[in-house]
Amino acid sequence: EKFKEGLTKTRDSFVGKMNDLVKNYRSVDEDFFEELEELLISADVGVTTVMDLIDELKDVARTRNIKDSEQLQPVISEKLAELLQKDEADSKLNIQESGMTVILMVGVNGVGKTTTIGKLANKFKQEGKSVLLAAGDTFRAGAIEQLEVWGQRVGVDVIKQQSGSDPAAVMFDAVQAAKSRGVDVLLCDTAGRLQNKVNLMNELEKVKRVIEREVPGAPHEVLLVLDATTGQNAMSQAKTFGKATDVTGIVLTKLDGTAKGGIVLAIRHELDIPVKFVGLGEKVDDLQEFDAQQFVYGLFS
Ligand code: GDP
């Protein structure tokens, strides 16, 4: 239901047009596929993904001898689901059965990183886990305070230093605090400026090294937060961060605010990084574990 609600804009636009396209038993010819291609690209599905998808649909149409659009419609949703489903298992978070799980959150300013940290902290707490936040964005004015607001809201402590201090030192403190308190999940914020890529990437590396040294096997997840409303921009951010660090999963925020939910497909297909969560609103419980089947169901029903 959450998916259905959060995907309203995408559904109204994309699916509305899709229904217009496939209705009236149109014949499945070159014109049809061209229109379908345009429609998918306009929903931010991504050119490479669209091309592959259209090729597959043409194949199916040929081999199953599908002549009209209404017969093809279920195949379209089936193929979309397949694209998203590549590997269901890897959409699960790597949470340690015993001992501490460290999750590093990365992403550009404004994408919803702080909000997502708050939502995740809340989710873990509801699962009965103890959580600690590390205020590793010491660069952006207000970042630490904003994280503290979320900390208070969900009842989780924040380990911080002054604005402008060394983020690696904050991480060191946070890890020590988490160890001595026996915390289950340590969620680490990081700076998100992209203006100076070299600095940003060096900083991420340094932060990661501290975590690796202090907690064997950590970080267990490096989650890249992307804003779905920025479309292909989100794709290029994913590529930049992907080069700088081992991103293990993506959180796609603001899916509720876009008619271009097709970006999920492009990310899955072209980047090969699993989408682990999607943000479907500003409230604390507006975070959903990503589920391909539910996503496609949310789109088409
Ligand atoms: P940060 O700079 O990356 O930490 O971004 P913030 O967490 O401050 O979020 C930026 C804005 O996006 C805020 O107004 C949030 O309420 C909003 N936001 C975050 N996630 C979502 C989401 O899933 N849906 C919607 N509609 N808004 C969101």
Phi, then psi, of 155 in degrees rounded to 5: 75, 50
Helices (H), 182-254: 197-214, 232-244
> Which one of 189, 256, 282, 286 would you pick to mutate in the ligand 1 pocket, going by the greatest count of ligand atoms within 8 A of its CB?
282
> What is the SS3 string spanning 14-43?
HHHHHHHHHCCCCECCHHHHHHHHHHHHHC
Asked if the model's pLDDT at residue 296 lies above 70, the reply is: yes
Q: How many whole angstroms separate alpha carbon 156 and alpha carbon 83?
A: 37
Q: Is 29 annotated as a binding residue?
A: no
pLDDT of 87 reads: 59
Cβ atoms of 281 and 6 within 8 Å: the answer is yes
> ipTM, 2 decimals?
0.99
Question: What count of residues does the chain have?
Answer: 301
pLDDT of 244 reads: 78
Query: How are the residues of the chain apportioned to helix, strand and coil, as percentages rounded to the nearest 5?
Result: 55, 15, 30
Asked if the model's pLDDT at residue 41 lies above 80, the reply is: yes
Q: How many whole angstroms separate alpha carbon 94 and alpha carbon 84?
A: 19
pTM of the model: 0.88
Q: How many whole angstroms separate alpha carbon 253 and alpha carbon 295?
A: 14
pLDDT of 262 reads: 82
Q: How many whole angstroms separate alpha carbon 72 and alpha carbon 35?
A: 14
Cβ atoms of 221 and 105 within 8 Å: the answer is no
pLDDT digits (tens, 9 = 90+) for 144-163: 999 999 999 999 999 999 99
Q: How many whole angstroms separate alpha carbon 98 and alpha carbon 110?
A: 34
Residue 143: pLDDT band by 50, 70, 90 thresholds? very high
Edge-to-edge strand ranges of the sheet holding 101-106: 157-159, 131-134, 185-188, 101-106, 221-227, 249-253, 275-279, 287-289
Is the CB of 262 within 6 Å of ligand 1?
Answer: no
Minimum CA distance residue for ligand 1 atom 9: 112
pLDDT of 13 reads: 78
Residue 113: pLDDT band by 50, 70, 90 thresholds? very high
Asked if the model's pLDDT at residue 31 lies above 90, the reply is: yes
Residue 269: pLDDT band by 50, 70, 90 thresholds? confident
32-41, 61-70, 77-86, 212-221: range with lowest mean pLDDT: 77-86
Q: For the residues 254-280, what does the mean pLDDT come to?
A: 86
Average pLDDT of every residue of the chain: 89
Residue 45: pLDDT band by 50, 70, 90 thresholds? confident
* Residue 142 CA, ligand 1 centroid: distance in Å: 14
* Residue 82 CA, ligand 1 centroid: distance in Å: 29
Asked if the model's pLDDT at residue 301 lies above 80, the reply is: no
How large a percentage of the chain has pLDDT more than 90?
58
pLDDT digits (tens, 9 = 90+) for 244-254: 788 999 999 99
Minimum CA distance residue for ligand 1 atom 12: 112
pLDDT digits (tens, 9 = 90+) for 119-141: 999 999 999 999 999 999 999 98
pLDDT digits (tens, 9 = 90+) for 63-108: 999 999 889 988 988 888 787 776 555 678 999 999 999 999 999 9
